[in-house]
Amino acid sequence: VTPNPTTKQTTISNVDKGGVYNVQVRAVSAVGSGQWRGVTSQRTYRVPSQMSNIKINQTVSGRMINLRVTWNQPTSDRLVQHYDIWYRIQGISSWTSVTPNPTTRQTTIRNVDKGSVYKVRVRAVSDNGSGWWRLESELYLMLDTDSGEVPLVICQEVLLVR
C-alpha cells in the first residue's frame, strides 16, 4: 500500500468484513527504508446478515386483525441488539415502524385493515450498524370479523433492499 506523502495516510481496500488486520508502518526515502514500527490491530466492522424464512400469519382478537411476523436468526445473531420492522399498505409510500423495536425474532403488527395489501420488511441492527432489509410477503386481508372467514394470502415475494 502506498500512502499519500502529504497527509501521511492511506486506505486499505478489499478487506473482509469481520476480519482482523495487523498494520505496521515505516519510512521510505531515497536513502533507504526505516525500521518497521509498532503493530496496530484492527477488526473491520461487520453488520448483521440478512434474516431468512420470514413468515407472516394473521390472527384475530375480537374484531381486531393482527399480523404476527417471525423470522430465522441471521448468521451473525450474536451481534444483534434489536430488529427493525417496518410495514406499509400498498399504494402508500411511507413506512410505519413497529415500536418498541423487538429484541426477539418475532413481533405483532396490531389492528391492521381488512381488504388492504400490506408489505412488511425486517432487518437486524447491531452496534456496528444495520443489516440488509428483507422485504417479504404481500398480504391481502379479506377478513370478515362477523363471519370469521380466514384471511387470504394472495402472493408471497422476496425483494432485497438496503
Q: Which residues are CB-contacts of 93 (< 8 A; sequence separation ≥ 6)?
A: none
- Give the pTM: 0.61
- For 43-77, write each residue's pLDDT tens digit: 676 778 877 788 888 888 887 888 888 888 887 65
DSSP secondary structure code for residue 112 in this structure: P
Higher pLDDT, 150 or 5: 5
Residues 116 and 92 sit within 8 Å (Cβ to Cβ): no
Place of cell 536513502: 31
User: HSE (CB half, 13 Å, CA atoms) of 16?
Assistant: 4
